[in-house]
Amino acid sequence: MKFQVKTILFIVVASFFMTTNLCAQTIQQTTNGLNFSAQEMDIKIEFYAEHTVRVYKTPKGKPYQKNSLSVVGIPKKTQLTYLTKGDRTIVKSNAVQVEVNVETGGISFYDIAGNKLLKDKDYGTQFSPINDAGTPSYKVRNGFLLDKDEAIYGVGQVLDNKFNRRNSSHHMQNENMSTYSPYFLSVKGYAVFWDNYSISQFNDNPQELSFEGLGHCSDYYFMYGQNADGVISKVRELTGKAPMLPLWAYGFFQSKERYHNQDESLNVLKKYRDLRVPLDVVIQDWRYWPEYNKSDSAWNSQSFDKERFPDPKKWVDEIHKLNAKLLIVTWPGFGPHTAQRKEFDEKKMIINFDTWPPNSGARPYDVFNPKALDIYWRYLNKGIFNYIGNDGWWLDSTEPDHINFKPSDFDLPTYLGSYRSVKNGYSLMHNKGIATNQRAVNDKKRGVILTRSGFIGQQLYGSNTWSGDVNSTWEMLEKQIPAALNYTLMGIPNWNSDIGGFFAGRWRKDGGNKNPEFQELYVRWMQFGAFSPMMRSHGTDLPREIWNFGDRGSWCFDAQEKFIKLRYSLLPYIYSTSWDVSNNHGTFMRPLIMDFVDDKKTHEIGNEYLFGRSILVAPVTKYKTNQWPVYLPKGSKWYNFWTDEYVEGGQTIHTNAPIDVVPLYIKAGSIIPIGPDVQYSTEKKWDNLTIRIYVGADGEFSLYEDENDNYNYEKGIYSIIKFKWDDTKKILTIEDREGSFPTMLKSRKFNFTLIGGNKSAMGNKLKKSATLLYTGKNTKLKF
């Protein structure tokens, strides 16, 4: 009661004058937070929304105007209450309260009930003056205090086979196979994004968690979402929502390093069609451009060699006639023999270090210069996009590669300062330039970008990051899974890897593609790829097209075909998940902590995940394994996808996993649509879907459909059919169809299958089925 009185008194006084004196320190109340000075710093607390707080610190008396590369959200008007509590000042929204100590500079974050979430340490921020390539700057460090047993995730794609990032240290420098952002997410339902693009250091030990980098400010965003889904929604509200990719982007991609001419890739596509193995995309890797004097001086000229690609427009037209799409590679570096390089050199828009390939003289352009982004696109559009009408981009080396490295290279100037001060934002800006310029010239085709690096905010540009040029080993396959899960917990939903691993030369002995261990590794990796946001086969040393592993009827061919076809049968589920990702800030690859955080065993499990909200995937990552341990989280009942066997959650089981089976378990209450047998994603309409209902809990699913490849969905041109399962009454409700689009099915057949079991009859299956002609009107079915 005394505290409430003091609160009221403070508000009355604050209405009379806007500052109060505590411990000889001055706090200024603002419309969206607080300003104060402590420990020779000026500190600004700014509520961006009820759940999101920006903390901005600069050396005292040295203001700095920060322009974020990642943050696109703007502060929303937020109702705040200002309180005093002894020598502390508190500002609170309806979701978060922030307590500041104006003597020590400490900042504590609490939920609305008063439970402490995070402490920005007393005396925990330092600005150490440093000379950055001739410009006065600072080494900036910000420390935080976490609970002793608090698990955290994020930080980036780190290939160390670890999931929980506690007690780890990382040199945050984006390179091939290493993709970092200064961010962590806690099991307590909050995250911190330290908005800094310099080469940085993340360190967590029992004393503190800290970020350290280069800059003129310490600028971070505290986001409280109550759970991981809530956090990711706040990340995307701050840094950009993820657009929908076209339906074809969820089909199967075939690539290699490299197809040497236009006939080679076209013949690969024709052979897939002849074999009737589904395929949606072929990718053209490097050196399709002229090779002057057989050197790389014309590297990345964004033009076509006339001998090997005599009619590139016809080439792409033929690909399209076969109902497939083309992605084509483009790099950030240019050889000295290119027109792009000459223009960039003239306008001082080159960062003068050597990039890939070695000894070519290729150098990267300055992505931090807005005019350079436009120039890059002008050449790319004229030489490729507007010329041949390709369907997407493969942006390789977006860190970028650094050849003949010298420490002084980090001193090189960019439009925004030294290269070291902005390096980690390179991929973000490169992707932004291409995505935004493409949309400006053609908004009828959704942007699709495959990129080798990333940074928070890159989800806004339709980018799908792959894990880099990884080795073809069992150990590397195992490392992909927790790396992917930590990456997606940063709010970037699209991720993939080279199926089979990129460097496969070690398998050339004993048969290459016919080497039994490589075949098994490739199939296991493909099983993982089938449950990744992009399913893409690629690599060097050994070709990866399906027929190179044997003929139909051989176990390796058949196992691959099985999972490619499984991927296509799940397209209605995957595309609906894509809508959930875009519209509801959802996630494709969901670590178990997202749905089962109360089960503490999930806090350390990074080798299995939910794909969408229903399918638990436990990829096999060991050679000659016929059984695989799978932890099924408590709080749900589960069904073996292959056998329909019913299992209670909260236990580890050892399930059969022969080479053509990956452990998949379906959460009770799930409703999963199964699509038709097709050779490409849009071959058949979804007019005769099988709908599987896994009993044991209430559930719902929204079947999403649109025109498949344009931005009309942003204007509301799409349809949703909601299915709701009442497990007690055994009633399925198919609600009135919401929305419409010109090519929408007016009626269709749904074939329902109930899959069920119970505790007293563990393993027994009860199936019931029904068929319904659905015309868009609310319908109930009782089973």
Q: Which domain holds residue 353?
A: 247-570
Report the pLDDT value the prediction gives residue 253, as an integer from 0 to 100. Answer: 98
Which amino acid makes up residue 533? P
Tell me the chain's radius of gyration from C-alpha atoms.
27
Burial 98-136 (b: 16+ CB within 10 A, else e): bbbbbbebbbbbbbeeeeebbbbbbebbbbeeeebeeee
Q: pLDDT per residue over 528-563, tens digit each?
A: 999 999 999 999 999 999 999 999 999 999 999 999
Strands in 12-134 per DSSP E: 19-22, 25-30, 33-38, 41-49, 52-59, 81-85, 88-92, 96-100, 107-111, 116-132
Six token digits for residue 73 = 């959200």
Q: Mark the ranges of the chain whose per-residue pLDDT is less than 50.
A: 1-24, 759-764
Domain membership of residue 762 (yes or no) is no
Q: Report the DSSP pairing between strands 96-100 and 88-92.
A: antiparallel
Q: Are residues 270 and 215 in the same domain?
A: no
Domain membership of residue 702 (yes or no) is no
Contact 308, 291 (CB under 8 A): no
Specify the CATH number for the domain of residue 263: 3.20.20.80
Which of the listed residues 570, 602, 630 is the one where a domain comes to its end?
Answer: 570
The rounded distance, in Å, linking the Cα atoms of 748 and 572 is: 14
Contact 727, 695 (CB under 8 A): yes
Which of the listed residues 544, 570, 596 is the one where a domain comes to its end?
Answer: 570
The dihedrals phi and psi of 605, each to the nearest 5 degrees, come to -95, 105
Q: Are residues 220 and 251 in the same domain?
A: no
Q: Are residues 426 and 552 in the same domain?
A: yes
Alpha helix locations (H) across 357-473? 370-380, 386-388, 419-422, 426-441
Q: What are the Cα distances from residue 742, in Å, to 417, 571, 705, 706, 718?
A: 50, 21, 11, 9, 9
Alpha helix locations (H) across 256-364? 262-275, 312-321, 339-346
Sheet holding 19-22, edge to edge: 19-22, 25-30, 33-38, 41-49, 52-59, 218-224, 190-194, 179-186, 152-157
Domain membership of residue 664 (yes or no) is no
Assess whether 257 carries a catalytic annotation: no
Q: Are residues 176 and 262 in the same domain?
A: no
Domain membership of residue 695 (yes or no) is no
The rounded distance, in Å, linking the Cα atoms of 581 and 491 is: 10
DSSP 542-553: S--SGGGG--BT
Average pLDDT for the chain: 94
Q: Are residues 281 and 414 in the same domain?
A: yes
Neighbours of 169 (CB within 10 A): 11
Q: Are residues 326 and 215 in the same domain?
A: no
Assess whether 599 carries a catalytic annotation: no
Which of the listed residues 570, 593, 609 is the one where a domain comes to its end?
Answer: 570
Report the pLDDT value the prediction gives residue 510, as an integer from 0 to 100. Answer: 87
The rounded distance, in Å, linking the Cα atoms of 700 and 732 is: 9
Residue 675, burial from CB neighbour count under 10 angstroms (0-12, 13-18, 19+):
buried
Domain membership of residue 279 (yes or no) is yes
Domain membership of residue 736 (yes or no) is no
Q: pLDDT per residue over 373-407, tens digit each?
A: 999 999 999 999 999 999 999 999 999 999 999 99
Domain count, the chain: 2
The rounded distance, in Å, linking the Cα atoms of 108 and 121 is: 8
Q: Are residues 356 and 416 in the same domain?
A: yes
3-state secondary structure of 698: coil
Q: Are residues 128 and 269 in the same domain?
A: no
Neighbours of 759 (CB within 10 A): 9
Neighbours of 260 (CB within 10 A): 14
Specify the CATH number for the domain of residue 141: 2.60.40.1760
Q: Are residues 346 and 470 in the same domain?
A: yes
Choose among 507, 508, 482: nearest CA to 495: 482
Q: 629: which residues sit within 8 A by CB, 6+ positions away?
A: 618, 652, 653, 654
Contact 340, 364 (CB under 8 A): no
Domain membership of residue 517 (yes or no) is yes
Q: Are residues 74 and 198 in the same domain?
A: yes
Assess whether 149 carries a catalytic annotation: no
Which of the residues 120, 195, 285, 396 is marked catalytic? 396
Domain membership of residue 549 (yes or no) is yes
Choose among 669, 667, 638, 672: nearest CA to 763: 638
Q: Are residues 41 and 73 in the same domain?
A: yes
The greatest distance separating any two alpha carbons of the chain, rounded to the nearest whole angstrom, comes to: 86
Which of the residues 204, 257, 401, 469 is marked catalytic? 469
Which of the residues 195, 237, 296, 399 is marked catalytic? 399
Residue 694, burial from CB neighbour count under 10 angstroms (0-12, 13-18, 19+):
buried
Q: pLDDT per residue over 398-408, tens digit each?
A: 999 999 999 99
Q: Are residues 489 and 528 in the same domain?
A: yes
